[in-house]
Amino acid sequence: MIGRENLPEKGPLLIIANHPNTLMDAWVVGFVCRQPIYFMAKSAFFSSGFRLKILRKLNMIPINRAGEGKAKGVSNDQSFEECYQLLEAGKTIVIFPEGTSYQERILRKLKTGAARIALEAEKRNGGKLGVKIVPLGLNYSRPERFRSSVLVAADKPIVAAEYLEDYTSDFIATSRSLTALFRERMERVLVTTEDKLHDYLLEEVRNILTSKYLKSEKDEFELLKKIRDGLYGVSIYNPERMLEIRQLVEEIKWQTDHLALKADFLDRRFRSVMFLRQLLFSFFGLVIMAPVFAYGVIHNGIQFKLTDKVIPLITKEVEYYAPLAVLIGFIMYPLFYLGYIAIWDHFFLFPWWAKLIYFVSLPVSGILAYSIHKYYRHVTLKLRFTILMRDRKDMVQDLREQKKRLRYLIGM
């Protein structure tokens, strides 16, 4: 996380964040915050009495959004009053001012509700409450995937009391101007794009240029900002160059896929003896870990594949893929684990402590199997790179020059 020092451990605090990944966003914010937090959520989630009770126990506050109708049992006045009382009690509230979740690097129009809640809470307490608003940026690498990496960045707190005098004289204009400030500050901690074309190019260029072998490109957030700014600058001041960038990106992408070559390997210094020694130790380690991998796949492979099959049947909206994977996993994996225990106990009558050890080993083995699989892919790609450096070194060198040219075109 970047800017953790900007995130107070105590309230009254209002966190505003972008909303690219539905329920995953709430889990990520909850993970980085040290204190209990409350979330404002659209009333559509509270469509039944049962859901209302469950979600309320999870510190979620329903709100009726304009244009979506009113949910039964949900009153905006009561929800706002609850927010004021929580802030007065020194609590932390999270609001996604975009309202709706969109899986794009575009910060959409912000609603004024967050500003009004912060300012109204201060007004009720004569400007002495001390409400702070912290803009939070959630930057996912692959939002649709459960194991997507996410970089969270927090900007410096905004003190609501500093805008109270203006709010008292003109609450509408002040709410709008403070919301405009929210947008400005959120854009500092986000890597946003202008449109879908820029979003696509940003993602593809990031895939090509991200490299753990170059110190200047290890910081993925800074790299994304450099690429975003470079593409924006080219589109404004040298638009004819955009075509060359797109063609170069597609060429590099096609060649690396065709050669089964990781783009960041192009930044590695190749030493044949060192590579062969590393490959030997890697294959030796994989042989040793093979039983663990097999154990993990046998007990987790069916659930893993079923989850991938079930999710597209439930929804076509990719924004819900990751949270659905988590929710389905919470149900499916334990059920399968209990089934495995029942099967083995039927034949061997395990004592209770053996069942417990077996149960704990199942999720652990699944995590290890996934890690071993990733390491195996890395080793095979490294072997492929070694073969290419021996047999087709000129092609690798051409790709290195193309990658260098891409950096130049973007201004890096």
Whether residue 351 sits in one domain with residue 314: yes
Assess if residue 121 is contained within a domain: yes
- Report residue 49: phi and psi, to 5°: -60, -35
CATH number for position 127: 3.40.1130.10
pTM: predicted TM-score of the whole model, two decimal places: 0.70
- Per-residue pLDDT of 253-303, as tens digits, reads 999 998 888 888 888 888 878 888 888 999 999 999 999 999 999 999 999
Provide the pairing of β-strand 60-63 with 92-95: unpaired
- CA quadruple 310, 59, 20, 226: dihedral, nearest 10: -130
- Per-residue pLDDT of 178-200, as tens digits, reads 999 999 999 888 887 767 777 78
d(CA 224, CA 193): 10
Q: Supply the DSSP symbol for 145.
A: S
pLDDT of residue 294: 96
Whether residue 317 sits in one domain with residue 263: yes
Q: Which residues of 106-127 are buried (b: 16+ CB within 10 A; e: fewer)?
A: bbeebbbbbbbbbbbbbbebeb
Assess if residue 196 is contained within a domain: no
Assess if residue 197 is contained within a domain: no
- Contact of 46 with 52, CB cutoff 8 Å: yes
Number of domains observed in the structure of the chain: 2
pLDDT of residue 134: 94
pLDDT of residue 51: 64
pLDDT of residue 209: 87
Helix 393-410 with 196-209: angle, nearest 10 deg: 130
Residue type, 294: A
Above 90 in pLDDT, residue 14?
A: yes
Provide the pairing of β-strand 37-42 with 150-154: unpaired
Q: Quote the domain boundaries for residue 241.
A: 202-412
Whether residue 369 sits in one domain with residue 234: yes
d(CA 261, CA 278): 18
